[in-house]
Structure 1
């Protein structure tokens, strides 16, 4: 015996995650709101960190800059999973326990809706504070320019492209959650989540909650930067968030339903 805890087997991990999803679906409304707001702030902090990293990306190769921004963005999900918060994209794994008849569909929809709105509130709150803080002026305005360039890239995608990108993003985010749940320590959880999160950010995929912060911040920052034109509009933000959210739901559902199909008859009910 080495004294170290062994990793759970895949079927045991499936059961543990579905137990956690059931607990999340049954949280009191007030706790969902508070923890959902925190998750919006936490993911936004990851986005803030990534934007700062991108502000200096012109000095290094594109791929390396993207990977760097993805690595630092991992801060957001690490805070959610270790400090504790309710994140809409990870919570789409509830659709697995719905299929297993452990959570009523109406309860899952209600829980996901409350957390989604709370995540949005937290993201907007952080975007407002970041804008007032003068973050856009950092690096002789490089951070502000990076935020606007990132927002323009995201809002330029069409509906189908954004849905597909959202599917891929939440496949990776839910796998990051899955790997983090396998770990028994904070360090292990961070190691487990970093690569999937880095991959989705580096690839420029669409994560609805991250975009709530990134696009809101860009919208506010453009008013503080003399651009002479509105580059990010409210309608463009909505046109990104709707398909990104649809794609995120589909991506999370795929992971949850695939593991339910594999282990639903063997794991604990």
Structure 2
């Protein structure tokens, strides 16, 4: 059987978090760069499909290909390390401290952003023939996404910020479930199926993913979106990062850890009143 039961894969989650803490700076940044770049390509792919077919569900169905590729290749997203790395600290693994956890998060953030920004620049050049013409339909859509999901939230003030934050929470609830799902199976097909389902949910529902947004919004700015860098940071990226942290750690990492790694004491089974009485005596009675 390729299925791995929860008690086993939660142990793998903690081991993975510990391994990421002690990974070299070079390897951490390279893996994060590639993860950001591949996810950005998948986002560009999904937007292109949605524009060309007019069907957002088709784009959402195919977007997870990038997520599956990057995790099978062993690359790291900020959303994933938000969930896995703290478990090694909570489990009191030797040498894992809050400082080393924050170091890992910082390096992965930088690598993811660099990778996503690189692809954003490449796509902007492609969609405008080197900035010599107006962007095509796909480019125009990227600019519109950036506007609607920054200024669009700002127009609602505090309610918009709350909505943005909760979309970030729900996003990493699903994405981190996908990360964990890859540990539920020992076969490639099992891992892919497990990852595909929750990532499809997050993308189609329009939840906010900090690394996808590292591509969407810089490319939107390059392609004429009507918003600013400050709008992007204040009304999307920063609240999304916080929401992703809360969603992944609270609804995936800590819940699984609490009930499968550090389980509560089982309740005592009730003892029958006639326990210890021979069967013959019970039948006679």
TM-score, normalized by the shorter chain, greater than 0.5: yes
1:131 alignment counterpart = 124
Q: Hey, which of these two has a bigger chunk of helix by percent?
A: 1
2:15 alignment counterpart = 19
Secondary structure at the aligned position of 1:7 is classed as coil
Matched, 1:177 2:173: no
Distance in 2 (CA, whole Å) between partners of 1:204 and 1:33 is: 28
Matched, 1:237 2:232: yes
Q: Any conservation in 2 of the 1:208–1:244 contact (CA below 8 Å)?
A: yes
Count of aligned residue pairs for this structure pair: 247
1:263 alignment counterpart = 260
2:67 to 72, 77, 82: 77
2:97 alignment counterpart = 104
Distance in 1 (CA, whole Å) between partners of 2:72 and 2:139 is: 30
Q: How much has 1:57 moved relative to structure 2? A: 4.7
Higher radius of gyration, 1 or 2? 2
Distance in 1 (CA, whole Å) between partners of 2:116 and 2:102 is: 21
Distance in 2 (CA, whole Å) between partners of 1:205 and 1:106 is: 30
1:193 alignment counterpart = 195
Distance in 2 (CA, whole Å) between partners of 1:37 and 1:27 is: 15
Secondary structure at the aligned position of 1:84 is classed as coil
Matched, 1:91 2:85: no
Change (3 A) 1:118 1:92: same
1:39 to 35, 38, 57: 35
1:141 alignment counterpart = 136
Distance in 1 (CA, whole Å) between partners of 2:177 and 2:128 is: 32
Q: How much has 1:35 moved relative to structure 2? A: 0.7
Secondary structure at the aligned position of 2:86 is classed as helix
Secondary structure at the aligned position of 1:134 is classed as helix
Q: How much has 1:135 moved relative to structure 2? A: 6.5
CA-based RMSD of the aligned residues comes to 1.8
- Residue by residue over 1:61-113, the C-alpha shift from the partner in whole angstroms, topping out at 9 and shown as x without a partner, is xxxx3322222221221122112211110111122222222232111111011
Matched, 1:30 2:41: no
Q: Which moved more, 1:243-252 or 1:230-239?
A: 230-239
- Residue by residue over 1:122-152, the C-alpha shift from the partner in whole angstroms, topping out at 9 and shown as x without a partner, is 1101111111122799xx9221122122222
Q: TM-score, normalised by structure 2?
A: 0.82
Q: How much has 1:18 moved relative to structure 2? A: 1.2
Instruction: Give 5+ residue unaligned stretches, structure 2.
Output: 154-159, 264-285
Q: TM-score, normalised by structure 1?
A: 0.87
Q: Any conservation in 1 of the 2:2–2:187 contact (CA below 8 Å)?
A: no
Secondary structure at the aligned position of 1:219 is classed as helix
